Structure 1
């Protein structure tokens, strides 16, 4: 079954300087939920930014099913939720959680 993304390809604008790929769940890209949690892990290769984006409503069972997430250009996820943009230059190891009801994120101490 083909996924029906909330944004069409022609709706994606270049909002950030290209920085590679990321992982995001269908809760964001298919269901249209905002990013509530983001983490930057060590990149797997030269085209990986290390960023992973979650809505915060995913269960462990949902996350364990590879069909529920995909690799995207970081710019694509910035189009889904532009509030992530100010945080994208944070270093590997960064974990952030949205301040409920705002477009701001708090850094979770590591």
Structure 2
């Protein structure tokens, strides 16, 4: 049985070139489908060509949600930057970096949990 088509919060026409050439990343449907801002982002070390190492979540996903592989997929980093433009200033952070949205709604550096 085919999985149902996802209804993304932004259409392809709404995606602008904000952070191009940065490779792929993993992001959850809480961002791309539900339209939630990035609440947690971490950059893992990677050896795969084209993988930026970035992983983006809304920050409220539990283990059961993350264990369901249809709840996240690979995107171009630029796509996720369109959902949360405030991530752009952190995209040059080295691997083993992490940022979390604080109570004031700002992304701040936090210890890497990788």
**Does the TM-score normalized on the shorter chain lie above 0.5?**
yes
Residue 45 of structure 1, CA deviation: 0.9
Q: Which residue of 2 aligns with 1:72?
A: 75
RMSD: 1.1
Q: Aligned partners of 2:50, 2:73: CA distance in 1, in Å?
A: 15
DSSP 3-state at the match of 1:84: helix
Residue among 30, 44, 56 paired with 1:41: 44
Q: Aligned partners of 1:17, 1:74: CA distance in 2, in Å?
A: 7
Residue 58 (structure 2) pairs with residue 55 (structure 1) = yes
Runs of 4+ in 1 over 6 A off after TM superposition: none
Q: Which residue of 2 aligns with 1:24?
A: 27
Residue 99 of structure 1, CA deviation: 1.9
Q: Aligned partners of 2:92, 2:9: CA distance in 1, in Å?
A: 26
Residue correspondences, number: 109
Residue 69 of structure 1, CA deviation: 0.2
Q: Unpaired runs of 5+ in structure 2? A: none
